[in-house]
């Protein structure tokens, strides 16, 4: 039975609120609500006060919310207005300074909340997300399981990829296998980009048929116990790789391996990004690597911390991040390799299989 860390997480949040001089926090971001209470529904408000944690939802979750939340919070169901119920919960506590998630709350909701309470609304940014960046052993294992599931799904699909299939056909087959193997959902729309379209880092999967000799970039993920994996593999379809494809793949692979070998907690996101960027730049391809090296993984596919040239934030112990260097040339194509990495005390541990040798599907 996995450890129940919800009360521990709420205690950590209250300490952060106390440090900021806040009497409570209204949480609207659903992944944060799930992290603190276990509630997985699509509609809820969460109030964390010094003396109570109160989850408010509607009739659709009258049975689900108490079952999932248990003793981690007081559950209140309102069939008319969850916001009015929140207003009554605010009046029950002595709240003078009330934090709001300014990075996700809309202006409209902030105005609605302001009308419900005489408390001063204080913008906060990512108080819960900073806690979520440090993963527990159970979270790490869920991400590892998601990565294993994703890898197994791709291995099942690879032998059936052939010239003439469309990107949409390949993507739909992969997504079907992911679901049949137990992925709770797709953390993001699967990217299948072939030929020149592989130069689009976030391409939309299209009806384009794959041609012999094409690069085929597949960026996909799985979800286990709510936690996400995010992987990218690039291959050549219907022919042996040509000299340029082998060259670019080798540079990207070397950059990724160097980053995984040397990433450590305590580095800044900028320093982590540089591990791979320096390899690519030294080979003369720096301008063709235009995105960041990676991002955090957890209940969301993009969360803290970031491996980025602009990030001076420290990489905390037990963060899980993607490591995904890429080189892209418009009119030719692109190659990206992505694995999921746990930043443990002894260094980086790959949670995915790290099998990034060039695949030739002939």
| pLDDT at 94 (0 to 100) | 84
Tens of pLDDT along the chain (362 residues) come to 678 999 999 999 999 999 999 999 999 999 999 999 999 999 999 999 999 999 999 999 999 999 999 999 999 999 899 999 999 999 877 899 999 999 999 999 999 999 999 999 999 999 999 999 999 999 999 999 999 999 999 999 999 999 999 999 999 999 999 999 999 999 999 999 999 999 999 999 999 999 999 999 999 999 999 999 999 999 999 999 999 999 999 999 999 999 999 999 999 999 999 999 999 999 999 999 999 999 999 999 999 999 999 999 999 999 999 999 999 999 999 999 999 999 999 899 999 999 999 999 99
The 3-class SS string of the chain reads CCCCCHHHHHHHHHHHHHHCCCCEEEECCHHHHHHHHCCCCCCCEEEEECCCEEEEECHHHCCHHHHHHHHHCEEEECCCCHHHHHHHHHHHCCCCEEEEECCCCCHHHHHHHHHHCCCEEEEECCHHHHHHCCCCHHHHHHHHHHHHHHHHHHHHHHHHCCCCCEHHHHHHHHHHHHHHCCCCCCCCCCEEEEHHHHHCCCCCCCCCECCCCEEEEEEEEEEECCEEEEEEEEEEECCCCCHHHHHHHHHHHHHHHHHHHHCCCCCEHHHHHHHHHHHHHHCCCHHHCCCCCEEECCCCCCEEEEECCCCCCECCCCCEEEECCEEEECCCEEEECEEEEEEECCEEEECCCCCCCCEEEC
| pLDDT at 203 (0 to 100) | 97
| pLDDT at 111 (0 to 100) | 96
Do the beta carbons of residue 274 and residue 111 sit within 8 Å? no
| pLDDT at 28 (0 to 100) | 97
| pLDDT at 2 (0 to 100) | 76
Q: CA 223 to CA 210: how far, in whole Å?
A: 28
- Structure token digits, residue 82: 């969850």
Return residue ranges of the chain for CATH 3.40.350.10. Answer: 6-132
Other C-beta atoms within 10 Å of 160: how many? 13
Q: Does the reported pTM lie above 0.85?
A: yes
User: 137-361 has which CATH code?
Assistant: 3.90.230.10
| pLDDT at 1 (0 to 100) | 67
Return residue ranges of the chain for CATH 3.90.230.10. Answer: 137-361
Asked if the 6-132 domain carries CATH number 3.40.350.10, the reply is yes
């Amino acid at each position: 039975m996995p450890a129940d860390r919800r009360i521990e997480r709420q205690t950590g949040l209250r300490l952060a609120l106390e440090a900021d001089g806040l009497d409570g926090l209204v949480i609207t971001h659903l992944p944060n609500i799930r992290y603190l209470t276990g509630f997985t529904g699509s509609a809820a408000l969460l109030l964390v006060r010094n003396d109570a944690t109160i989850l408010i939802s509607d009739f659709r979750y009258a049975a689900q919310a108490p079952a999932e939340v248990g003793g981690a919070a007081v559950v209140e169901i309102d069939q008319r207005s969850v916001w009015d119920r929140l207003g009554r919960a605010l009046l029950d506590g002595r709240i003078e300074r009330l934090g709001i998630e300014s990075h996700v709350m809309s202006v409209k909701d902030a105005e609605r909340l302001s009308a419900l309470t005489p408390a001063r609304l204080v913008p906060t940014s990512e108080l819960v997300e900073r806690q979520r960046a440090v993963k527990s052993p159970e979270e790490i294992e869920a991400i590892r399981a998601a990565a294993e599931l994703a890898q197994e799904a791709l291995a099942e699909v690879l032998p059936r990829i052939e010239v003439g299939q469309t990107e949409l056909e390949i993507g739909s087959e992969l997504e079907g296998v992911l679901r049949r193997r137990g992925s709770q959902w797709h953390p993001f729309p699967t990217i299948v980009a072939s030929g020149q379209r592989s130069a689009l880092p976030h391409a939309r999967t299209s009806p384009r048929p794959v041609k012999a000799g094409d690069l085929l970039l597949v960026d996909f993920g799985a979800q286990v116990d709510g936690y996400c994996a995010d992987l990218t593999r690039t291959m050549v379809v219907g022919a042996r790789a040509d000299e340029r494809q082998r060259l670019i793949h080798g540079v990207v692979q070397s950059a990724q391996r160097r980053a995984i070998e040397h990433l450590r907690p305590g580095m800044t996101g900028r320093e982590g990004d540089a591990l791979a960027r320096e390899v690519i730049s030294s080979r003369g391809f720096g301008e063709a690597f235009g995105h960041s090296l990676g991002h955090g993984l957890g209940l969301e596919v993009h969360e803290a911390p970031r491996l980025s040239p602009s990030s001076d934030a420290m990489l905390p112990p037990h963060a899980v991040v993607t490591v995904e260097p890429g080189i892209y040339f418009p009119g030719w194509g692109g190659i990206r390799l992505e694995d999921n990495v746990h930043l443990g005390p002894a260094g980086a541990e790959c949670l995915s299989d790290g099998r990034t040798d060039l695949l030739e599907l002939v």
